[in-house]
Structure 1
Amino acid sequence: MTDLLITGGVVADGTGAPERRADVAISGGRVEVVGDLVGRTATRVLDATGCVVCPGFVDVHTHSDLTLLSSPAAHSKVRQGVTTEIIGNCGLGVTPVLGDRAALRGAAGYLDLDPAVAWDWTDLPGYLDVLARARPAVNVAALVAHIPLRAGVVGFEDRAAGPAELDRMCGLLDDALAAGAVGASTGLVYAPLTYAREEELVALARTVAARGRTFSWHIRDYGDHLLDAVRQVLRVAETTGCRTQISHLTSVGRRNWGKAVRALDLIDAARERGADVAADMYPYLAGNAPLSQLLPAWAQTGGEAAMRERLADPGVRDRVRDAWSDLPNGWADITVSRIPVDRPGVTGRTLADLGGADTALDLVGEFGNAVMMVAGGRSEEDLLAVLRHPATVIGSDGQALDPDGPTGAGVPHPRSYGCYPRLFGDYVRSGRLPLAETVRKCTGAAAARFGLHARGELVAGKAADVVVFAPEAIADRATYAEPQRYPDGIRAVLVGGQVVVEEGSHRGARAGEILRAGHGG
């Protein structure tokens, strides 16, 4: 007998094929058959009349490395339909742990929202074992992050890696890829990666390419120098033949509007020459990052502790203010979203309201990389062009958060709660994006970019990760002012054939798997 039968829905199967009326039979955690199944019996029947039935959303760009250990129920993600997360993005990661553990934890402050989470691993296999014991509600695949590699081997200084150091970084990267990492990531705005030379990126890309995995890039600049940053990615991709992903492709600052479209032209030209390059994006006009990202590279040398000490020097502060005199965004575009203490009147307010550069320097000097910002200044036309591009997939750039736990503090970016409902409730329902193709970008195409061939499509034999949503009711309720609100219109979410979310409620199932490249998934 079939375990679960989803009846009466319109299936968008994740391949990009037109949506069609069909039933879905699930047994043993896998899709058994999709079609007209009138008369088939099942242990349980889920009526999806009036709803879209599609694969679970594969979120290719997340930062849930530590929040899934704090709250493995993954509330903010699974309740919006995410069934698989890829962690380790933007070069920010938690393994390998080499040398000064505290320094690495400081560099990864963006991920580190719950001080109670112990870092008791040293390498990727150890971390994945800890994550597996936590039993997350979503499937998880990991990238190898560049910061732990460079910090552990080269340190936090502004210098090129020597030949022996490059060999060691590539060896550590290859070990993690052999252990099941689906690729690697870099984040060239984050110290110490701001100091990585192009030969280092080429060496890492060659290592990733040799394993047939994916290299994701948070590029050097999304503002005035966006096009030069994209050209660097394309040079490395074409030199090495590595499958390459440009993370959250956008252009920041009104004076740079239109550059994202020109970046797409560069990508198209590289693809025509044979490069395997794509991008991901989320449907918002603001991003989220550590406030320290705004500092000049010279101010961040030596690691977080040295950076904070440096910012106590009045002369250094004057130099930073001068560097900030021509930022693409103004202080009115930047909101403080989180600091690691309860300080009323700070989070949720713009830096313009709080005192501009002086307050920014005070906060980073006091809390380092743990100060988070939400920054706007983006173009709707650029966003639509990126979302519509055939080589773009969707990644939230968010985290799995629990509003009732330690990760629920502050005023986070609403994408952690509402990315996919916003995409379907706003952009698809308005007709600006087509349904079947948008489902493909969130599922089949997203899974394929990272070699997750058992996920992302409602096809017989593939994993039964499924979302059922009401197309006329799905909507994000999370806002910039009130981000910790779950969406409407998500009727059911299944992970591995188990119902995790039903009618907006988390049922407590934690059926996620740790997905290792070369081991199915």
Structure 2
Amino acid sequence: MTGWDLLITGGVVVDGTGTDGFRADVAVADGVIVAVGPDLGPVLPDDTHATRTIDASGRIVCPGFVDIHTHSDLTLLSAPLARSAVHQGVTTVVVGNCGLGVAPLADGADVAGIRAAVGYLDLDPAVEWSWRDWAGYADAVAAARPSVNVAGLVGHLPLRGGVVGFDDRPPTPAELARMCELLGAALDEGAVGLSTGLMYAPLTFSRTDELVALARVVADRDALFAWHLRDYSDDVVPAVREALEVAAATGVRTQLSHLTAVGKRNWGSVVTALELIDAARGEGLDVAVDMYPYLAGNAPLAQRLPASVQAGGDAAMRARLADPAVLDQVRAHWADEAVGWDEITINAAPGEPEVLGHTVADLAAARGADPDAVAVELLARQGNAVSMVAGGRDAGDLVAVLAHPASVIGSDGQALDTEGPTGTGIPHPRSYGCYPRLLGEYVDNGSLTLAEAIHKGTSAAAARVGVTDRGIVADGYAADIVVLDTETFADRATYADPRRHPDGVDAVIVNGRPVVDHGRHTGARSGHVLRTKGQGS
């Protein structure tokens, strides 16, 4: 080596391991951290120099955040600069969560039907689905040259939708074997695990034998099984038990996604769920959870419909909503929901900007209509493309999850831009502000120390998906690094005005290249697709 590409001097390194910060310089060459120590500049050999130096005096130098839970599967193909992610210090995203992946697509799969079913991800109709297998999808992401690293879970929905279809029925033995074959091939091609989303049709029709069979494929490869649980409301505790029973039956590494309980009558259920998780971990099961630091979530509005109404796919669901008998069924289902229409805000509805930012209750009042009818009309027109921001959560439950030793941080957001196809709607502010909100609010209020918060957002998250070469500032690790001014690092994104980048991010380095410099995106697109065991491409 005749020189270093980058030398970061004078900062306090919080290295991502959970230990307290220490004063050190950080040297980078060929995309890798090659030295961490005090006063590296003066000890450079005569024939060695740093091409660039960043003065981090008075700043925190930490690993780039590893966002274990995102829905950027398709947004990275139309907005590869990933501005909303990198501007908050994210250097790696994990896609394919909640079962809502986009690959693999079985021979004969109803690709249009699958695309409609994952409409929540699909912000740009111009993106062509040119892949069939998971490797083809990963290659498409690599060809887009994103500014962030990307690891991927296999979505249960394209597996089931492509092989079984969208009806309420179990797979035949041959179909289940085909699903397992496709899953195994995707994991062998580099996917880091499987995700399911048991509130989304047709996954809501999956039962234990199907989940166990898929989990065994994942366990055989020591990959991760991530769960969007069957319920986060009145039945959140039984839903947690279901996931833990599959983990016990198969030994699969298990991640319970965005653990929460909605509706005031369910507040405190999270504590019971954490006790079950502690017991499972005490019995030797590898179970962890993730969460984002907000008291409202974001999901397709169709998630609130009875499973039977969603059967058959998006088009069938929309047609079914014209049947008066079905409307009666839907109204009965909604009569005892734990979260009311006054806590449900519409934040995406293509072609209907007039409904954005309004609660369903307010839309109904303005029209002199019934909220149930307004919601049904939206769903009949938009199907899975209409999404909501839903409240009804408890601050104490959130802190309990964030502070739990088995928790890591995942935004549940998307990599977005302020303009273009991904600049529409009113996204949840977590896409722009998850990590500054974590450090700015939950470190400041004493729920977490700075070292704990950074650990949960970096090396701990990376470890859950088997990414072994990132998330720590140490010799030999990939040079994904963030320089933060913790005095000014703050979330500026709000529910009403979410497309605002945070303050206090001086620099973001991805694979040794500055992607954010003095708060501005450099245009660098140095991300890698991370395949199994953290190998890049």
Q: TM-score, normalised by structure 1?
A: 0.99
Deviation at 1:209, TM superposition (A): 0.4
**Number of residue pairs aligned between Structure 1 and Structure 2:** 520
Does residue 176 in structure 1 map to residue 186 in structure 2? Answer: yes
The question of whether the paired residues in 1 share the 8 Å contact of 2:356 and 2:426 is answered with yes
Question: Given the alignment, which residue of 487, 499, 506 partners 1:472?
Answer: 487
Deviation at 1:428, TM superposition (A): 1.1
The question of whether the paired residues in 2 share the 8 Å contact of 1:215 and 1:242 is answered with yes
Corresponding residue of 1:317: 327
Q: For residues 518 and 384 of structure 1, do their structure 2 counterparts lie closer, same or farther at Cα, with a shift above 3 Å needed?
A: closer
Corresponding residue of 1:61: 69
Question: Given the alignment, which residue of 264, 283, 286 partners 1:276?
Answer: 286
The question of whether the paired residues in 2 share the 8 Å contact of 1:278 and 1:391 is answered with yes
Structure 2 distance, partners of 1:513, 1:432, is: 34
Structure 1 distance, partners of 2:394, 2:226, is: 23
Corresponding residue of 2:367: none
Corresponding residue of 1:12: 14
Question: Given the alignment, which residue of 31, 34, 40 partners 2:33?
Answer: 31
The residue correspondences of 1:172-321 to structure 2 (distance < 5 A) are 172-321=182-331
Structure 1 distance, partners of 2:189, 2:35, is: 33
Corresponding residue of 1:441: 456
For residue 322 of structure 1, give the secondary structure of its aligned residue in structure 2. helix
Structure 2 distance, partners of 1:367, 1:278, is: 35
Structure 2 distance, partners of 1:404, 1:329, is: 32
Structure 1 distance, partners of 2:182, 2:72, is: 22
Deviation at 1:360, TM superposition (A): 0.7
Structure 2 distance, partners of 1:232, 1:97, is: 27
114-123 vs 171-180, which moves further: 114-123
Post-superposition CA distance 1:102-155 (Å, at most 9, x none): 101001101000111111111111111111110000000110000001011111
Question: Given the alignment, which residue of 349, 360, 368 partners 1:351?
Answer: 360
Q: Which one-letter code corresponds to 1:371 in the other structure?
A: V
For residue 8 of structure 1, give the secondary structure of its aligned residue in structure 2. strand
Structure 2 distance, partners of 1:135, 1:345, is: 35
Corresponding residue of 1:403: 418
Structure 1 distance, partners of 2:535, 2:154, is: 19
Deviation at 1:38, TM superposition (A): 4.2
Deviation at 1:314, TM superposition (A): 1.9
Does residue 86 in structure 1 map to residue 94 in structure 2? Answer: yes
Corresponding residue of 1:455: 470
The question of whether the paired residues in 1 share the 8 Å contact of 2:59 and 2:485 is answered with yes
Deviation at 1:432, TM superposition (A): 2.3
For residue 498 of structure 2, give the secondary structure of its aligned residue in structure 1. coil
The question of whether the paired residues in 2 share the 8 Å contact of 1:246 and 1:279 is answered with yes
For residue 65 of structure 1, give the secondary structure of its aligned residue in structure 2. coil
> Tell me, which stretches of 5 or more residues in structure 2 are unaligned?
365-370
Deviation at 1:88, TM superposition (A): 0.2
The question of whether the paired residues in 1 share the 8 Å contact of 2:507 and 2:514 is answered with yes
Structure 2 distance, partners of 1:473, 1:8, is: 18
For residue 118 of structure 1, give the secondary structure of its aligned residue in structure 2. coil
The question of whether the paired residues in 2 share the 8 Å contact of 1:59 and 1:82 is answered with yes
Corresponding residue of 1:165: 175
The question of whether the paired residues in 2 share the 8 Å contact of 1:429 and 1:472 is answered with no
For residue 231 of structure 2, give the secondary structure of its aligned residue in structure 1. coil
Post-superposition CA distance 1:376-406 (Å, at most 9, x none): 0100000000000011000000000111111
The residue correspondences of 1:384-395 to structure 2 (distance < 5 A) are 384-395=399-410
Structure 2 distance, partners of 1:507, 1:73, is: 9
For residue 366 of structure 1, give the secondary structure of its aligned residue in structure 2. helix
Structure 2 distance, partners of 1:413, 1:517, is: 30
Structure 1 distance, partners of 2:139, 2:433, is: 29
Structure 2 distance, partners of 1:124, 1:404, is: 29
Structure 1 distance, partners of 2:420, 2:56, is: 32
420-429 vs 184-193, which moves further: 420-429
Structure 1 distance, partners of 2:396, 2:489, is: 23
Question: Given the alignment, which residue of 333, 347, 350 partners 1:340?
Answer: 350
Structure 1 distance, partners of 2:206, 2:418, is: 37
Corresponding residue of 1:421: 436
Structure 2 distance, partners of 1:252, 1:371, is: 20
For residue 283 of structure 1, give the secondary structure of its aligned residue in structure 2. coil
Q: Which one-letter code corresponds to 1:499 in the other structure?
A: P
Corresponding residue of 2:368: none
Q: Which one-letter code corresponds to 2:23 in the other structure?
A: R
Structure 1 distance, partners of 2:22, 2:353, is: 51
Post-superposition CA distance 1:422-479 (Å, at most 9, x none): 1111111232210111111000110011110001111101100001111111111100
The question of whether the paired residues in 1 share the 8 Å contact of 2:469 and 2:534 is answered with no
Corresponding residue of 1:122: 132
Q: Which one-letter code corresponds to 1:176 in the other structure?
A: A
Structure 2 distance, partners of 1:520, 1:193, is: 30
Q: Which one-letter code corresponds to 2:428 in the other structure?
A: H
Structure 1 distance, partners of 2:247, 2:229, is: 13
Q: Once superposed, what is the RMSD of the aligned Cα atoms?
A: 0.9
Structure 1 distance, partners of 2:490, 2:456, is: 18
Structure 1 distance, partners of 2:316, 2:446, is: 51
Question: Given the alignment, which residue of 495, 505, 517 partners 1:490?
Answer: 505
Structure 2 distance, partners of 1:321, 1:354, is: 17
Structure 2 distance, partners of 1:97, 1:183, is: 16
The question of whether the paired residues in 2 share the 8 Å contact of 1:455 and 1:465 is answered with yes
Deviation at 1:519, TM superposition (A): 6.2
Does residue 137 in structure 1 map to residue 147 in structure 2? Answer: yes
Structure 1 stretches (4+) deviating beyond 4 angstroms?
Answer: none
Structure 2 distance, partners of 1:428, 1:502, is: 25
For residue 499 of structure 2, give the secondary structure of its aligned residue in structure 1. coil
Q: TM-score, normalised by structure 2?
A: 0.96
- Matched-pair identity in %: 62
The question of whether the paired residues in 2 share the 8 Å contact of 1:57 and 1:81 is answered with yes
Structure 2 distance, partners of 1:489, 1:319, is: 51
Deviation at 1:520, TM superposition (A): 2.3
Corresponding residue of 2:105: 97
Structure 1 distance, partners of 2:425, 2:376, is: 19
Q: Which one-letter code corresponds to 1:61 in the other structure?
A: H
Q: For residues 60 and 519 of structure 1, do their structure 2 counterparts lie closer, same or farther at Cα, with a shift above 3 Å needed?
A: closer
Deviation at 1:344, TM superposition (A): 3.9
Q: Which one-letter code corresponds to 2:84 in the other structure?
A: S
The question of whether the paired residues in 2 share the 8 Å contact of 1:67 and 1:113 is answered with yes
